[in-house]
Structure 1
């Protein structure tokens, strides 16, 4: 099964720490939080969501970006899509057309 997505918002935000990036996944378009973290590492760690995710926000800064590979499975296996922030201190929001249960996220890897 393939994911498809559309960027629903592209909102400028000022960073308080030029070396920080973060990601957040939400259960619904009103942004009920499922999981959030700052400065994801290059550890290839699977992030298990507490609930199904239907939207996401990623933030990059200082010329660096955050990326997340998002899976429908609960164990980061099978088909995935990759979401990216931009590199210019802007938050990028995504509406997922398929539900997601896990992800692997990276900051400037």
Structure 2
């Protein structure tokens, strides 16, 4: 898996992922994001639109990451197509407010969630 990270104009960290998201590659995403959280960043979008496959262990790790971020007062939103949604659904992580169709929608949701905290 390959990751590229940038900030949008309002401070949301956007992580563009390509490749496959599974147990082997999940730490490549999760560990740095948790370091960002430790440094004070609280809003994240993970764009899985260019990921070819998300397996159940990757989906479980992503759902766990979102939970850890929420427990620290932050928010994480994911973008992706039907394959991403199906993998997350299998882990019970496709709830409203977590998976979006576009990065813009996900970032807007992160900013809104941050405004209510």
Structure 1 length normalisation: TM-score?
0.33
Please report the TM-score for the alignment, with normalisation by the length of structure 2: 0.32
The structure in which a higher percent of residues are helix is: 2
Larger relative contact order (Cα-Cα within 8 Å, sequence gap ≥ 6): 1
